[in-house]
Homo-oligomer: A and B are copies of this chain.
Amino acid sequence: MEPADFAVRAGQWLRGPGPDSDVVLSTRIRLARNVEGYAFPNRIEAGARSALEERLRQWIEAAGMGEAHYCNLSEVDPLMQQMLMERHLISRELLQGEGDRGVTFASTELISIMTNEEDHVRIQVIQAGQTLQAALGQAIDLDRRLEAQIPYAYSDTYGYLTACPTNVGTGLRISVMVHLPALVFMDQMDKVFQAASKVGLTVRGFYGEGTKAVGDVIQISNQQTLGRTETEILETLANIIPKIVEYERGVRTHLVNEQRVSLEDRVWRAMGALRYARKMASEETLNHLSAIRLGVNLQLLAGLNMSEVNELFVITQPAHLQALKGRELGPDDRDVARANLLRERFKPESN
């Protein structure tokens, strides 16, 4: 797999439409599993880790994932590593780890399995839009197929054993990525943070770091699984997400009806910057793309393809840009390359 080919388009979860996709970008399920008889990755010896990585690869292949790719992180170059992270296929922890560790991901990128991350096995299912039940169902199905191959570390008392106690039990984390430009515009995000934390949910940014809503996108997820069933975790999310969606939609309607000029100003200034800037940093880009997404959703902008707009959230990131240009670029050159790409994508003729 050539970096440039890989960089051209983002995964299906970001491109595809999905339920409530005006607000919900994606639903992500993560299951943490470990293999009986091996030390957790933070304790394992290099030799055992290598052997396990190889066995896991075979087990995963045997479980059947359709058309899929495997990367051993210790063997791929840093650019490809970072692209995998920008693509949400691997975690920062796997990227920054050492020794044999890898990821197997379906060509659709809707499924990925990290090996030798914090746990031996991290199953990820990520779908476009709000698909809590369906995504969880798919993750459980994949988990069962893997369980038929892999001797999981399991305790009748505690459930699945994990490297970090907070994940013990189901090993389940559900993350819903939501786009809340109207709530950010009206300075209402505190209410979302409070509502989420009240029911034990965590809020993070698009790439997980901190809680800063760069691009007006946040991920809402359960903090721990210990002592809670899959159904309980699912219900917490299933309960709050529709409320946040309705809240965002309500404020969008308010903006259209009561503050139309300010709204159009925000959307069209973003378009102006995307069409004309000669250099643009990553964070500024995400904020403009957010406004464009909002404009398309509210039909203030015509002729734009939403999946292409979504995709730009990922392919304007540093490693993707460098892969597209076919060479390493310093921060200044990336800002120029990013602006060039955006100018091309948003040029007036193409609308």
Contact = CB atoms under 8 A, between A and B. Distances in A.
Nearest to A270: B276
Contacts of A262: 278-279
A32 interface: no
Nearest to A276: B272
A339 interface: yes
A147 interface: no
Given A261-B336, A262-B279, A265-B339, 17 more contacts: A261-B279, A262-B278, A264-B278, A265-B277, A265-B279, A269-B273, A269-B276, A269-B278, A271-B272, A271-B276, A272-B272, A272-B273, A272-B275, A272-B276, A272-B277, A275-B276, A348-B348
A239 to B, nearest CB: 38
Interface of A: 261-262, 264-265, 268-269, 271-273, 275-279, 336, 339, 348
A277 B273 contact: no
Contacts of A348: 348
A83 B197 CA distance: 56
A309 to B, nearest CB: 17
Contacts of A268: 276-278
Closest 9 A/B residue pairs (Cβ): A272-B272, A272-B276, A265-B278, A268-B276, A264-B278, A265-B279, A261-B278, A269-B277, A272-B273
A339 B264 CA distance: 12
A104 to B, nearest CB: 41
Copies in the complex: 2
A285 to B, nearest CB: 13
Nearest to A271: B276
A348 B275 CA distance: 12
Nearest to A264: B278
Contacts of A278: 261-262, 264-265, 268-269
Nearest to A332: B261
A273 B266 CA distance: 11
Nearest to A343: B268
A222 to B, nearest CB: 41
A272 B276 CA distance: 6
Contacts of A271: 272, 276
A336 B259 CA distance: 12
Contacts of A336: 261
24 contacts: A261-B278, A261-B279, A261-B336, A262-B278, A262-B279, A264-B278, A265-B277, A265-B278, A265-B279, A265-B339, A268-B276, A268-B277, A268-B278, A269-B272, A269-B277, A269-B278, A271-B272, A272-B272, A272-B275, A272-B276, A272-B277, A273-B273, A275-B276, A348-B348
A336 B271 CA distance: 18
A272 B272 CA distance: 4
User: Which of A269, A277, A339 has the most C-beta atoms of chain B within 10 angstroms of its own C-beta?
Assistant: A269
A261 B279 CA distance: 7
A239 B264 CA distance: 50
Contacts of A265: 277-279, 339
A340 to B, nearest CB: 10
Nearest to A260: B278
A265 B343 CA distance: 12
Contacts of A272: 269, 271-273, 275-277
